[in-house]
Structure 1
Amino acid sequence: MREATMADVVEVDLAQPVAAKPPAVQQSHAVTAASATPADLLRIAVESGADLDKLERLMALQTQWEAKEAKRAFDAAFAAFKAESVTILKGRKVTDGPLKGKSYAELHDVVNAVTPALSKYGLSSSWKLTQDTKDWMEVTCYLRHVNGHEESVSMGGPPDAGGAKNAIQARASTKTYLERYTLKAITGLSEQMDDDDGNGKAPQGNPDEVFMKYESQLLEATTADDVRRVRALAGAAFEAVKDVKGWNQFKAMADKKKAEFEGGAK
């Protein structure tokens, strides 16, 4: 069956009277070719006794039209949401490690910040664990509009076995991390002073921000080549802020992850 187009409008005689309908009813259904929607054309085709092939093509056209309208409504709602200037507050302070004393936004900080503005414009977010194996997890974040259109962003990483976490805690940590970052990604938001503020430049003068930026990229790496690329970029950034201790720690993390990828490829 070919894809329906507005050319099907020509095949329906909008001026053709429907004998079985009283004049008052006919008048309420009156449409013109310029104003007719696929639903109008489908109704008139049914009333006119159109054949099955024509009805199927008009039904396909109606589906395409509804999808475009839903996308248009989604885009308008998302633009309005972005105009809200949502601020994500860093509610959790780091108590140990190289980032001790710094703060970051936990998952609930991000959710609490974006949900009211999303709901205001008929938008909502949700997650699904789209890959769950022993050594790899992937989370997909969906952003939906009430009219039916949705978009998604996926991100994956290995279980976070750092610290004293048991196996369940390691998986929960990675899942929460991925949920937080996919929600920020699909809404186009970041925390105040987060990473490079979206300008694509390495942060300058703040070793902790450099570490956080490239630690995030390292977690998102899916191949040994990805790790090499992140390691090279991180090396220049750590050198720029003269953070030898941070670089040595990051380098050890990157080398360990690269070895894991290369070992798994054998």
Structure 2
Amino acid sequence: MNQVAQIQPQDVAAPVADPMISMIERVVLNPDADLDKLERMLAMKERMEANGARVAFARALSEARAEIPPIVKDATVDFTSNKGRTHYQHETLAGIAKVIDPILARYGLSYRFRTEQGQGGVRVTCIIAHAEGHAEETTLSGAPDSSGSKNSFQAVGSAVTYLQRYTLKAALGLSAEVDDDGQSAAPHTGASRQQHASQQQQQVSPAERASDQMITAIRKNGADAVQASPQFQQDFPRLKKEAPEFAARVEAEIETWNKANKTAPSTLVDDDEIPY
């Protein structure tokens, strides 16, 4: 005997109606409605949606950055010119993307770059966007990188890549550390630990170290408390003058903290402004 399975309908939560949409619908259906008030209500709805998107962006960025580890400096620059030898380590754009892309995607965040060239320079803008529509931009500009034996096209390409890295780092407040070829996974004892720590300190510039300390303090104590401290008021102007790219990271951290923690202004409308 065949048995007929009875499927019981499950309770499905009804979508929550937007009260602003309901008010606008009532105005549209009312032949005596004031069109001026309708336009004001539509503008108010746009402001409310934009404010909600900003809040969602700040929250997503804050949560994503809490998961992003320090970026490893996985490339070395070493060449000699008429100015002498140049030798330093840096993180690559591909290395940064490999770390941050999966984390940003989980929180609905993405980034892209806009590049402009003119008056002998290159201008790069990093655009961080959220799935709900809000986006913020960080812009840096510079001259083509003519170091080494680059031709004119290579000089522009090198400058663009450099500015992409730094605008992305500034927009997200990223910090970097030197790749120790897996040595950090091995135990360090006695003199080897001290030597390892000393090498790490020498390979990180004082400006980068100062910016990392400021960013850590902001995340721990809040931007208001850090900005009010005499030490920050003394150190930050000097950092901004000597290393603006690292100061930009600190400013981005302050802006992100403010957006995530400051109370948004009320968008409520007085009773006499809501047409029924």
- TM-score range normalised by the length of the shorter chain: 0.5 to 0.7
Distance 1:165 1:121, change over 3 A: same
1:37 aligns with 2:19: yes
Following superposition of structure 1 onto structure 2, how do residues 117-266 of structure 1 map, counting pairs within 5 Å?
117-129=103-115, 131-192=116-177, 206=202, 209-210=204-205
The one of 97, 114, 125 aligned to 2:100: 114
Deviations 1:4-48 (CA, angstroms, capped at 9, x unpaired): xxxxxxxxxxxxxxxxxxxxxxxx9x98xxxx6322221121123
Tell me the amino acid that sits aligned with residue 187 of structure 1. Answer: L
Distance 1:41 1:86, change over 3 A: farther
Q: Which moved more, 1:171-180 or 1:77-86?
A: 77-86
Deviation at 1:211? 9.2
> In 2, distance between residues paired with 1:109 and 1:44?
54
Deviation at 1:177? 0.2
> In 1, distance between residues paired with 2:206 and 2:47?
47
For 2:6, the equivalent position in structure 1 comes to none
> In 2, distance between residues paired with 1:143 and 1:205?
31
For 1:76, the equivalent position in structure 2 comes to 59
**1:124–1:144 contact (8 Å) kept in structure 2:** yes
Aligned to 2:22, the other structure's residue is in SS state: helix
**2:74–2:178 contact (8 Å) kept in structure 1:** no
Deviation at 1:64? 0.7
**2:73–2:178 contact (8 Å) kept in structure 1:** no
> In 2, distance between residues paired with 1:171 and 1:212?
26
Identity of aligned residues (%): 34
Distance 1:64 1:112, change over 3 A: same
For 1:258, the equivalent position in structure 2 comes to none
Tell me the amino acid that sits aligned with residue 122 of structure 2. Answer: M
> In 1, distance between residues paired with 2:122 and 2:79?
26
**1:107–1:180 contact (8 Å) kept in structure 2:** yes
> In 2, distance between residues paired with 1:53 and 1:171?
52
> In 2, distance between residues paired with 1:165 and 1:53?
61
The one of 80, 89, 95 aligned to 1:103: 89
Deviation at 1:99? 5.2
For 1:198, the equivalent position in structure 2 comes to none
> In 2, distance between residues paired with 1:55 and 1:99?
64
Q: Which moved more, 1:159-168 or 1:47-56?
A: 47-56
**Unpaired segments of 5 or more residues in structure 1?**
1-27, 195-203, 214-228, 235-266
For 1:244, the equivalent position in structure 2 comes to none
1:46 aligns with 2:28: yes
The one of 29, 33, 42 aligned to 1:59: 42
**Unpaired segments of 5 or more residues in structure 2?**
1-13, 180-199, 209-237, 244-276
Equivalent residue pairs, number: 175
> In 1, distance between residues paired with 2:135 and 2:168?
14
Distance 1:156 1:209, change over 3 A: same
> In 2, distance between residues paired with 1:86 and 1:37?
42
**1:153–1:186 contact (8 Å) kept in structure 2:** yes
Task: State the structure with bigger RCO (CA 8 A, min sep 6), 1 or 2.
Answer: 2
Deviation at 1:57? 1.1
Tell me the amino acid that sits aligned with residue 146 of structure 1. Answer: A
Distance 1:66 1:212, change over 3 A: closer
> In 2, distance between residues paired with 1:165 and 1:159?
10
Deviation at 1:75? 1.3
Tell me the amino acid that sits aligned with residue 161 of structure 1. Answer: S
Deviation at 1:89? 1.8
Report which of the two has the higher share of strand: 2
